[in-house]
Chain A
Amino acid sequence: MPKTPPQHEITQLLAQWREGNQSALDDLYPLVYDELHRLARRYMSRERKGHTLQTTALIHEAYVRLVDQKNVLWANRSHFFAISAQIMRRILIDHARRHQYAKRGGGARQVSLEEAATVVPDQSEELLRLDEALKSLAEMDPRRSQVVELRYFGGLNNEEIAGVLHISENTVTRDWNMARAWLYQQLTGSGAN
């Protein structure tokens, strides 16, 4: 098992990031990525039978493990959840891409098409398309895309999202409705323009 970096380090990086130091995010990102990835895989292998992955529980555990609870501020927690949602998205997209790559027959250890197809029936494809659509949404409307990221990838509820983004819960609901309808349109091509 990889060693967990010292909590004070992560806590400090979070604080630095919150204070506007963008390079702290660069340092933070891989640390949190590793931890979430490891936890996600562990959860999934442990609770395979019909269990679903509780994203919030997962992020919470990562938070407790990584962040020094003594010196933590609420603002850090929101920031942690925000970055975690972003990273969960990244983790899933990374996997989806690798899956696609394997399917195309790239890489050295090839997974046969049948094998790959039976393991993950097209989830990766859909996820990648959603990710793309979400990127386009972010260009038009960064906040709505963030609401989707926090809710769909971070597993946060509306109240938590409202806290992270400093908007009202009603606004979260409205943003979500709009964003989801638009994404649906993009993915199903029902409103392709």
Chain B
Amino acid sequence: MTPERWQQISRIFKSAILLDNEARAAYVDSQCGRDDSLRVEVEKLIDSHGKANADRFMNGVAAEAAAPLLTDDKIARHELLIKGQQFGSYIILDSLGSGGMGEVYLARDTRLDRTVALKVLSPDISQDNRRMQRFRQEAKVASSLNQPNILTVFEFGEADGLTFIAAEFIDGETLREHLRGKRLGLGEIVEISIQVLAALDAAHEARIVHRDIKPENVMLRRRDHVVKVLDFGLAKVTEHKHSTVEHDSDPEAITEFRTAPGIIMGTINYMSPEQAQAHKIDERTDIWSTGVMMYEMITGKMPFSGSTTSHTIVQILEKDPVPLTRLVKAPADFERIVMKAIAKKPGERYQTAKDMLGDLRSLQKRVEIDSELKQTSPLITRTQGDLGRHKKRVLVFALVGMLLVTAAIFAVNIWRSSRRNASSPVATPAVAPVERTLTYWITVQKFKDDKPYHDQFTLAGEINFEAEYRIRVNVRSPQPGYLYILNEGPASGQPEYNVVFPTPTANNGASLVPASAVVLIPKKSWLRFDTQQGVEKLWLVFSEDGLAELEPVKQFASVETSGLITDPALNRSIKNFLDTHSATKPGVEKGETLTTLKATGKLLIYAIKLEHH
């Protein structure tokens, strides 16, 4: 069916279904005229509409209907391949990890007797064009480049009905991992940069621009410290190329890039000005990104970085970075090379990776000589030999190389951990003032005849409580801390509190809540208030330290008594405590769906007021 035809049908359909049978027939008649096939289509659809209603077709949500699929562990944990299994010409040695989208195995290629990393796609992935396209592109580009600093893809194929990719198995870590929490020596930085540029030089020779050079895409092999550039998933062939293997597919890529000028590719912090503006890009964009990476390696800071994407882009386009020699001790030559690589105008940068490589190699020679002369500037003390000082890493790390080949495609935890700090520059955080932060939101479920009625909804804060409402309070803090929640009913003489948290079922009865944990109160059922009208207060007390005044409430936490505190002395001392400390009110930021409370100091106290009528 053509989209035009579809629109035509839909126009008639949407009015027709609002009419009763008689009027409908006349209306359809008048709209379709002599176009009988149109009439048939419309009538079929109207008929289906009626039947779909009668059948309650798609009345719920998919997850409801398909829920058993999710919990069927036999299937959920169903591994595609097992250890020792023959798979095509490979023998599976070990499972390296898995994610929602596929699995990675260590395998032996029996034909060539070599160990490879084998990524096997879930049977469903091959159906997903977007993911498959990037995957195929990666395999194609990487296998067309034969250079020791580029991860080798051996095979892209199919066996037993499963699509797989076999690649060089790299036992090592990404540069991002390697940079974590430490500064590298000048010698090592120069060496890594040289190898990255050697990879780029080979790619550029083949007119391939990587477009996504960043520490996540640079892998260091443990055994010999060889650098491997990964992830050619975004790579494109440049326009003014000659005869390369990419010739066929490339014009498409360029068209795509040109016709969609708004689409920016790559990671923002390493993006060149021309990339950030979605202008035409060429090899010099990789030079830029390498320069940014070198700056980061030596200073531990990003040369261009803002609090938001837009701020970062402004920095990239307009601001000069802080001269790196102001941040660290580094040879002037090194600074000159980096600054030339990150010149705003492509014409002022190194024009080729080869040129930059040349400058770095001469610098490397001088560094080596300097080091032999035992010139011991702190930055120059570590030279090439230090490359060997890699952390011991489990075998699993080898996976990273493989995963990054297909980084966009596979959700594997190990991969994820390798890029956890991807967007944060390596820097020591400033000492923050003591502050307590707590976020809360309220889930409301309407009940009718003691049964849930309608869907749940969430609220950021205070509500006018209706009799049939039952609620759940959700609390979360980025900080760990001691949490106490007490309910105070509409005032009537003696203070009386109910313990809402901690309870034996929530957090195992402990008041200490780990950072970022979402505490659901109650966990499964609902809070329900008695029929007495007025304002219910839910006191949230969140403290860095355990509170001697409130710890005793735990003994009253019981489902049977709704946590009612029956000890008058304790109730009085709680009131006293709350009165004293609630004088200082926390800052309240009310969002669309949640409320964030912020207090200075170690203690945060806030009363959520729930009115009910």
Please list the residues of chain A having a beta carbon within 8 angstroms of any beta carbon in chain B.
2-6, 8-9, 12, 15-16, 19-23, 26-27, 29-31, 33-34, 37, 40-41, 44-48, 52-58, 60-61, 64-65, 69-70, 72, 74, 77, 88-102, 106-109, 111, 115-116, 119-120, 123-124, 127, 130, 140-141, 148, 151-155, 157, 174, 177-178, 180-185, 188, 190-191, 193
Contact = CB atoms under 8 A, between A and B. Distances in A.
29 contacts: A2-B416, A12-B308, A16-B309, A20-B263, A22-B265, A23-B234, A23-B408, A30-B101, A41-B71, A47-B524, A52-B64, A57-B456, A64-B476, A69-B591, A69-B596, A96-B69, A107-B80, A109-B78, A123-B65, A127-B65, A140-B6, A155-B63, A157-B455, A178-B13, A181-B13, A181-B49, A183-B52, A184-B49, A184-B57
A55 B60 CA distance: 10
Interface stretch (B170-178, B283-291, B417-425, B483-491): B417-425
Contacts, number: 283
Interface in B162-184: 162
A180 B58 CA distance: 8
What DSSP secondary structure best describes chain A's contact surface?
A: helix
B416 A31 contact: yes
B584 to A, nearest CB: 21
Contact of A30 (B100, B122, B233, B594): B100
A93 B596 contact: no
B290 to A, nearest CB: 19
A109 B82 contact: yes
A40 B70 contact: yes
A101 B46 contact: no
Nearest to A47: B524
A102 B592 contact: no
A48 B1 CA distance: 43
A75 B229 CA distance: 35
Nearest to A87: B100
Nearest to A140: B6
Interface of B: 1-3, 6-7, 10, 13-14, 17, 41, 44-49, 51-52, 55, 57-58, 60-72, 74-76, 78-82, 85, 99-101, 122-124, 127-128, 134, 160-162, 212, 233-234, 262-268, 308-310, 407-413, 415-417, 419-424, 439, 441, 443, 455-456, 458, 474, 476, 516, 518, 524, 589, 591-594, 596
Nearest to A184: B52
A152 B419 CA distance: 33
A181 B413 contact: no
B82 A92 contact: no
Contacts of A21: 263-266, 268, 309
Contact of B263 (A9, A22, A69): A22
Contact of A5 (B80, B233, B416): B416
Contacts of A153: 61-63
Which of A34, A37, A92, A108 is the most central at the interface, judged by chain B CB atoms within 10 Å of its CB? A108
B69 A185 contact: no
A-B pairs, top 3 by smallest CB distance, nearest first, are A30-B411, A26-B408, A97-B124
A179 B57 CA distance: 12
Contact of B100 (A5, A33, A111): A33
Nearest to A13: B423
Contacts of A15: 308-309
A15 B1 CA distance: 37
Nearest to B412: A30
A4 B516 contact: yes
